[in-house]
Chain A
């Protein structure tokens, strides 16, 4: 095959990689936000926030990376899907703003700390629900006319979207709980272990519902999954997912501290694989393929070369940033001051 046919596949893999890293990385810190108000005391909340404070900004950068990479490589996905999901995208951004500024403002006040607790937890929850609606809308497909979005403002509203949203809330909460089991100890860790079970149940139910619903309501998805012989290759995915979910259930208390987090990452990877099977090879499902929607060859080459050179360096120092803050998160006051000087 020629470069023109192969490069879009490579670029689609790159976009998929960025989306996956975003979902996994921002997933756990959004999850910590979702669990925030459920924590029993302010002490636990301080520790929960301190555990993600040095890394959340880097995690969220992958959202911008995914967006700009989509614009550069598959513009059709960008200029069709973003107007199609105008309101969920906007409300996701509003929610991300609220939860983001809470990092800066929360510790600076005592009297009004509850407001920033609410902003952080509410922002995390709303952002996750919006992402769910976008995901549901993507599976359902959007209306196009002469290459541009031609649907209505509220086309994104669907039961499938709601189900995806609730499922993502469960999934992110599970990731967040896994992160807290790994990175904290004491009562915060106990809380995380307790809440991980509920999150796991929610995730399992919603994953099943979303899979069944999209197979039932979108014929193209059903055809993809149930056609012989491809069913032989893809049947292991749901089976494996069920097995991993069950393993988490059994390992939350007795297993190693990193277990829940790592296995929750695997659940997300399997879920993403399922999504790719459902919508491959479309950028805009069932309208624009990755070959029709790709940028010019010279643009793809320009993007691909730089990414191949720079992405490994980015991953290295992102990894280093995590490494500097390795081990259990110590108290909030310790991590916020520079050389013991209080932050305010």
Chain B
């Protein structure tokens, strides 16, 4: 196989797998910090229980996120030597600052956050949680600055050998698309985590487990979702118009627009045929694309044909990934608004169908994040540094077989890690945010917690009252 294709597949897979974890930990770190602060200031044990519960999930996700991130920092050299040779002057310091200001901050305080609550006071624990949360946000800032530079490069110039030299650091970091991209990603993480917290809490509410804590968490999550989901859509609109201006080809691929058009239609669904350069089976709404992109009925939108074919991305991936992201955004908005309405009617905590809906929405944020990144990264092709360096010229002098070997290993290892994570996370979730007073199933009868009846929340065949409590509240497996 073509080494460029293999290198791209490996990077896409490893970076795609990696982004799931920061998405979870950026939001969760802030949520845990908030809970730690509330526990410190109010002394309500429900916040403590929730904090302990979410710290366990955070701890697992953080480890996987950190380790899969290390992989990426080395892949830039092992698989993309041409890229690192060309852009090291510009992006090297950004990556370095990410480690210096973010990773060390996280690593320095994560020990105290996870294991130190007994050794330091509540205030210092809150401070450590804030440092970890700040670290995750700082990390997002640097890495999105680097990514935005690849999308909308500025402040540097390439010499005859293709090596970039920095002219102005301010311009390198604060590129045209950086503020929107950063806001869009951070907000995506917060929205995703809101729906994760809502989903897990609704699972507990459905099982009538740790009801007080689950209500508090569900309420917090639905408030967050109600505020942030519309915000995210507004930020997305800004980002889209930024793309229209700075990366018109990518935007044309997202919209499935071949010819430069005034009053461009919104293509709801179609099959973009790159050979014929037209859409098959298109369902269109006239003029709407121009309206939301240019905020005018007859605004001009550039089509793909404005540039030569050799500068087109692979249109179907960009086109469909974008629709998946937007579709999920619409679903999440509907759920958030429904939650708001139910709250007004004071039915938020006991509308069972809505709890099922929230539970089902748990993974949607992650899918939207993956789809969004696929849109923006595939839409940047065939460039690795937009308009300057082609992806095909950026690859490392490594044989295809070596990449194939490592790619296969990554597929196997990451699949395994995802399964194991889900297994343990499910067990933590099933055990629930009960306080320390909980009787454990193992204390009543070893092995009880592992039985299927206990997992389903149904009383065992010979129920004792203690066992029934356990089935609802207890931890599952030692």
A residues adjacent to B (C-beta < 8 A)? 53-55, 57-58, 60-61, 63-65, 67-69, 71-73, 75-76, 78-83, 86-87, 89-90, 93-94, 96-98, 100-101, 103-105, 108-110, 147-150, 152-153, 295-296, 298-299, 302-303, 306-307, 310-311, 314, 317-318, 320-321, 324-325, 334-344
A340 to B109 alpha-carbon distance, docked (Å): 20
Q: How many Å from the CB of A76 to the closest CB on chain B?
A: 8
Known: A57-B107, A58-B111, A79-B84. A299 touches B166 (CB 8 A): yes
CB contacts (< 8 Å) of A100 on chain B: these are: 63, 66-67
Interface residues of B in 419-450 (CB under 8 A from A): 420, 424, 427-428, 431, 435-436
1/0 per residue B396-427: CB within 8 Å of A?
11110110011001000100010010001001
Residue of A nearest to B431 (CB): A344
B44 close to A (CB within 8 Å): no
Residue of A nearest to B69 (CB): A64
A243 to B420 alpha-carbon distance, docked (Å): 48
Known: A61-B99, A68-B73, A71-B92. A82 touches B111 (CB 8 A): no
Contact check, A108 vs B116: say whether CB atoms are below 8 A apart: no
Contact check, B401 vs A153: say whether CB atoms are below 8 A apart: yes
Contact check, A71 vs B63: say whether CB atoms are below 8 A apart: no
Contact check, B92 vs A68: say whether CB atoms are below 8 A apart: yes
CB contacts (< 8 Å) of A335 on chain B: these are: 115
Contact check, B66 vs A57: say whether CB atoms are below 8 A apart: yes
Closest 4 CB pairs of A and B: A72-B92, A54-B111, A82-B77, A75-B88
Partner of B116, one of A54, A60, A86, A295: A54
Interface size class of B (residues with CB under 8 A): 35 or more
B residues adjacent to A (C-beta < 8 A)? 48, 51-52, 55-56, 59-60, 63-64, 66-71, 73-74, 76-79, 81-82, 84-85, 88-93, 95-101, 103-112, 114-120, 165-166, 169, 396-399, 401-402, 405-406, 409, 413, 417, 420, 424, 427-428, 431, 435-436, 475, 477-478
Contact check, A67 vs B74: say whether CB atoms are below 8 A apart: yes
Partner of B88, one of A71, A302, A321: A71
Partner of B427, one of A54, A57, A108: A108
Known: A54-B116, A108-B427. A298 touches B417 (CB 8 A): no
Contact check, B399 vs A153: say whether CB atoms are below 8 A apart: yes
Contact check, B396 vs A83: say whether CB atoms are below 8 A apart: yes
A307 to B106 alpha-carbon distance, docked (Å): 17
CB contacts (< 8 Å) of B77 on chain A: these are: 67, 71, 78-79, 81-83
Contact check, A344 vs B409: say whether CB atoms are below 8 A apart: no
Q: How many Å from the CB of B18 to the closest CB on chain A?
A: 11
CB contacts (< 8 Å) of B82 on chain A: these are: 79, 148
Contact check, B111 vs A93: say whether CB atoms are below 8 A apart: no
Contact check, A61 vs B107: say whether CB atoms are below 8 A apart: yes
CB contacts (< 8 Å) of B169 on chain A: these are: 298, 302
Q: Give 16 A-B contacts (CB < 8 Å), ordered by A residue.
A: A54-B111, A58-B107, A65-B99, A65-B100, A65-B103, A71-B92, A86-B396, A86-B398, A86-B402, A90-B409, A96-B70, A105-B424, A299-B166, A310-B100, A317-B104, A344-B56
Contact check, B99 vs A64: say whether CB atoms are below 8 A apart: yes
Partner of B436, one of A76, A80, A325, A341: A341
Contact check, A101 vs B92: say whether CB atoms are below 8 A apart: no
CB contacts (< 8 Å) of A306 on chain B: these are: 93, 97, 100
Residue of B nearest to A343 (CB): B56
Residue of A nearest to B102 (CB): A61
Partner of B84, one of A78, A96, A325: A78
Contact check, A80 vs B81: say whether CB atoms are below 8 A apart: yes
Contact check, B64 vs A68: say whether CB atoms are below 8 A apart: no
Residue of A nearest to B83 (CB): A79
Q: How many Å from the CB of A325 to the closest CB on chain B?
A: 7
CB contacts (< 8 Å) of A317 on chain B: these are: 104-105, 108-109
Residue of B nearest to A319 (CB): B108
Contact check, A79 vs B396: say whether CB atoms are below 8 A apart: yes
Residue of A nearest to B399 (CB): A153
A341 to B48 alpha-carbon distance, docked (Å): 10
Known: A58-B111, A79-B88, A303-B96. A148 touches B397 (CB 8 A): yes
Q: How many Å from the CB of B227 to the closest CB on chain A?
A: 29
A257 to B278 alpha-carbon distance, docked (Å): 75
Contact check, B81 vs A82: say whether CB atoms are below 8 A apart: yes
- Since A110-B477, A307-B96, A339-B118 are in contact, a sample of 12 more A-B pairs with Cβ atoms closer than 8 Å, ordered by chain A residue number, is A57-B66, A57-B107, A67-B73, A68-B99, A72-B92, A79-B84, A86-B402, A90-B409, A310-B100, A324-B111, A338-B115, A341-B436
Q: How many Å from the CB of A168 to the closest CB on chain B?
A: 18
CB contacts (< 8 Å) of B428 on chain A: these are: 344
Q: How many Å from the CB of B477 to the closest CB on chain A?
A: 8
Contact check, B63 vs A101: say whether CB atoms are below 8 A apart: yes
CB contacts (< 8 Å) of A334 on chain B: these are: 118
Partner of B95, one of A71, A109, A325, A340: A71
A337 to B424 alpha-carbon distance, docked (Å): 16
A310 to B105 alpha-carbon distance, docked (Å): 11
A263 to B115 alpha-carbon distance, docked (Å): 29
Q: How many Å from the CB of B454 to the closest CB on chain A?
A: 15
Known: A71-B96, A338-B52, A341-B52. A149 touches B81 (CB 8 A): yes
Contact check, A340 vs B118: say whether CB atoms are below 8 A apart: yes
Residue of A nearest to B78 (CB): A82
Known: A83-B81, A101-B420. A314 touches B104 (CB 8 A): yes
